[in-house]
Amino acid sequence: MSAPAPPPVIAMRGIRKEYGQADSRVVALAGVDLVVLRGEYVAIIGPSGSGKSTLMNIIGCLDRPSAGTYALDGEEASALPDHRLANVRNRKIGFIFQNFNLLSRANALENVELPLRYRGLSARERRRLALQSLDRVGLANRVTHRPNELSGGQRQRVAIARALVTQPALLLADEPTGALDRRTGREIITLFDELHAAGSTIVVVTHDPEVAAYTRRRVSLVDGAVVEDGPVPRAEAAG
């Protein structure tokens, strides 16, 4: 007998998200079904206003769906109270944002330690894990620098180190190269590729065809619904 298959990282069924009441009602997500397995590398693309950010907030447990069920890494997450959601974010999700979202007062090490603080780890353990994570993104020599002493690419690396430090089930990135120049953006894409090769599960929301091209699967949203979901053609991936 083989070992039982691990649960999907994302298991969504009929996810809806509506804003406002009656006349002014906006349907941001109109019944999304999405399953992402462990180790997948997925791009979510779509025109502006198609619901990408809304979907990402629900995947990241920052927001709750109006209807539908969502299990993250085998844990039901669509109807948890606020403090449980915070706990799920801490353990299972590593966020990477377009504008980095680092604490400007804290240095690289302290920024990377932040998720571990809310986990109640000892200072020594926090430091060990954070240094390890910074080393992994190639910033071992920048640990005491503050965000304003780092380049854009380095800031995004700090953010990635912060996302990795908890060994989350899912890395969730929103336009990770949106604030970077082409060359630096490519470095970040390469880093994602390496993380994928090492086994991380990654979901990227992006407009950038180059970012999408590096992923292995592409989910297209239009008007809050999935209109296309399939592997990225090899030629494109190579290209």
Partner 1 sequence: MNTLDHVVAAFGALRANPVRGFLTTLGVIIGVLSIILLVGLGDGVRTYLAEAFSGLGSSLIEVIPGKTERKGMGPPPLNNPRKITLEDARAIERRARTLDAVSPIVFGGGTLRYLDRRRDVAVFGTSAMYPDMRNLHVQSGRFFDDEDALAGRHVVVVGTTIVRELFGEENPLGRTVKITDVPFRIVGVMAPKGQTFGFDWDDIAYVPAQTAMDLFQLDGVTQVLCRSRDRRSTAAAMDDIREVLSARHNFQEDFTIRSQDDLLETVNDLLRTMTLVILAIASISLVVGGIGIMNIMLVSVKERTREIGIRRAVGATRTDILLQFLVEAVVISLVGGLVGLGLGAGIIAIARNVVPDLPVELSAWIVAVAMGFSALVGVLSGVLPARNAALVDPVEALRYE
Residues that bind ligand ATP (CB under 6 A): 19-20, 26, 28, 46, 48-54
Which residue in the set 69, 90, 132, 184 belongs to the binding site for partner 1 (CB under 8 A)?
A: 90
Query: 228 with 212: CB under 8 angstroms?
Result: no
Q: Would you say 60 or 185 has its CB closer to partner 1? A: 60
Q: Where does the chain have alpha helices with state H?
A: 52-59, 82-92, 108-117, 123-136, 152-164, 182-197, 209-214, 234-238
Residue 95 binding target from Mg ion, ligand ATP, partner 1, none, CB below 5 to 8 Å by type? partner 1
Q: Which stretch binds partner 1 (CB under 8 A): 5-13, 90-98, 181-189, 207-215?
A: 90-98
| Buried-exposed string 49-63: b where 16+ CB fall within 10 A, e elsewhere | ebbbbbbbbbbbbee
Which residue in the set 16, 53, 132, 193 belongs to the binding site for Mg ion (CB under 5 A)?
A: 53
Residues 112-151 close enough to bind partner 1 by CB under 8 A = 114-115, 117-120
Q: Would you say 53 or 132 has its CB closer to Mg ion? A: 53
Residue 95 engages partner 1 in binding (rule: CB under 8 A): yes
Residue 217 binding target from partner 1, Mg ion, ligand ATP, none, CB below 5 to 8 Å by type? none
Antiparallel, parallel or unpaired: β 41-45 and 202-205:
parallel
Query: 15 with 65: CB under 8 angstroms?
Result: yes
Neighbours of 111 (CB within 10 A): 26
| Nearest residue to 112 via CA among 169, 149, 151, 157 | 157
Q: Would you say 146 or 217 has its CB closer to partner 1? A: 146
Query: 27 with 224: CB under 8 angstroms?
Result: yes
Q: Binding residues for partner 1, per CB under 8 A?
A: 57, 60, 62-63, 82-83, 86-87, 89-91, 95, 97, 101-103, 105-106, 114-115, 117-120, 162
Chain residues binding Mg ion by CB under 5 A are 53
